[in-house]
Amino acid sequence: EVQLVESGGGLVQASESLRLSCAASGFTFDDYAIGWFRQAPGKEREGVSIINNWGGSTMYADSVKGRFTISTDRAKNTVYLQMNNLKTEDTAVYFCAATNGNVYDFRIPNFDYWGQGTQVTVSS
Residue pLDDT tens, the chain, 124 long:
999 999 999 999 999 999 999 999 999 888 999 999 999 999 999 999 999 988 889 999 999 999 999 999 999 999 999 999 999 999 999 999 999 999 999 999 999 999 999 999 999 9
Local structure of residue 55 (DSSP, 8 states): T
In angstroms, what CA-CA distances link 57 with 24, 39, 93, 124? Answer: 19, 24, 24, 33
Is 89 exposed, middle or buried (CB count within 10 Å of its CB: 0-12, 13-18, 19+)? exposed
**Predicted pLDDT of residue 54:** 84
Q: How many CB atoms lie within 10 A of CB 51?
A: 23
